[in-house]
Structure 1
Amino acid sequence: MNLNITGHHVEVTPALRDYVTSKLDRPIRHFDLVTSTAVILSVEKLKQKAEVTVHVRGKDIYVEAEADDMYAAIDALVDKLDRQVVKHKEKTSDHGRDTLKRQTAADET
């Protein structure tokens, strides 16, 4: 997996880079087909903003979060990303199971 971390109007320190890398391990672990991840950390006036685009096979998942603190924005971003990745994984793994349930229900009647 390729991980690209960039900063707009903020310097990406090694501590910030390590924090983002360690936090992104959890959502990426849920889904094996992640090809690349792009993280953008930015500061606009008093708001700290974190954005991530995760490229998976068949879809790009984009999430953004804002907070007063960069670490809080990253935490919120990871929570949102985790929900989106799990949702996408459930959609891809449950594909076609509804039709099977409908057929067995129709056969029982």
Structure 2
Amino acid sequence: MQINVTFRHTESSDAVKRYAEDKVSRLKKYMDEPIEANIVLQVEKFRHIAEVSVDSNGMRVNATEETHDMYSAIDMVMDKLEAQIKKQKEKQRNRKPSNSERSQQLMMNILEWSAEPSAEPRVVTSRQIFAKPMDVDEAVMQLNLSNGDFLVFTNRATEAVNVLYRRKDGNYGLIEPVQ
């Protein structure tokens, strides 16, 4: 997380700078890396103004607050930012995926083959599933929670469709496409 603190019309104070950086760094839990935050702290006569602009993967939030005390201005502007970020995240969850996100959440066909030894193998059933974007560790947890022997998912790191399967020895296997 990159944080830039600027003081205007006032002496720079390490205590105030550390306080503002600490408050802004708490936004990590709501936003994806990389995060860039610009903080402007200024004093105009008796007003203490805190302006914060935060950028993270295309999401940008801005807030300004003014009070009689710099610390309370920082606290109030952070409350505003937190509310804005939560609101934007909720909007992202509720909207339909765009075409680029649909390509990441590929619809995969799972084919089950007949196991009759005398007959030629044929497709018995077919169903569609979402290849949900997740990390490999998250996929292992999902496979442990399910009763299935395999899990199809989109790897967040490579953005490719992967298959995680349970081996007979109790370990896991991962099938990744060659790129």
TM-score by length of 2: 0.50
Distance 1:90 1:33, change over 3 A: farther
Specify the alignment match of 2:54 in structure 1.
54
- 2:35 is the counterpart of 1:35: yes
Q: Structure 1, unaligned stretches of length 5 or more?
A: 98-109
Alignment of 1:69-108 (within 5 A): 69-96=69-96
Aligned amino acid, residue 24 of structure 1: V
Deviation at 1:30, TM superposition (A): 1.2
- Per-residue deviation, residues 36-63 of structure 1 (Å, max 9, x unmatched): 1100000011100000011122232110
TM-score by length of 1: 0.80
Could you tell me whether the CA contact under 8 Å between 2:24 and 2:37 is conserved in 1?
Answer: no
**Percent identity of the aligned residues?**
35
Aligned amino acid, residue 84 of structure 2: Q
Aligned amino acid, residue 24 of structure 2: L
Aligned amino acid, residue 39 of structure 1: I
Hey, which bits of structure 1, 4+ residues long, moved more than 6 A?
none
Specify the alignment match of 2:148 in structure 1.
none
SS at match of 1:10: coil
Return the alpha-carbon distance in structure 2 between the equivalents of residues 41 and 88 of structure 1.
25
Could you tell me whether the CA contact under 8 Å between 1:26 and 1:82 is conserved in 2?
Answer: no
Specify the alignment match of 1:68 in structure 2.
68
Specify the alignment match of 1:3 in structure 2.
3
Could you tell me whether the CA contact under 8 Å between 1:7 and 1:40 is conserved in 2?
Answer: yes
Return the alpha-carbon distance in structure 1 between the equivalents of residues 77 and 46 of structure 2.
18
- Per-residue deviation, residues 58-79 of structure 1 (Å, max 9, x unmatched): 2321100000000010010110
Work out which structure has the larger RCO, using CA pairs closer than 8 Å and 6 or more positions apart in sequence. Answer: 1
More strand by share: 2
Deviation at 1:2, TM superposition (A): 1.2
What's the C-alpha RMSD, in Å, of the aligned pairs?
Answer: 1.6
SS at match of 1:31: coil
Aligned amino acid, residue 56 of structure 1: S
Q: Structure 2, unaligned stretches of length 5 or more?
A: 98-179
Return the alpha-carbon distance in structure 1 between the equivalents of residues 33 and 25 of structure 2.
14
Specify the alignment match of 1:102 in structure 2.
none
More helix by share: 1
SS at match of 1:73: helix
Deviation at 1:34, TM superposition (A): 4.7
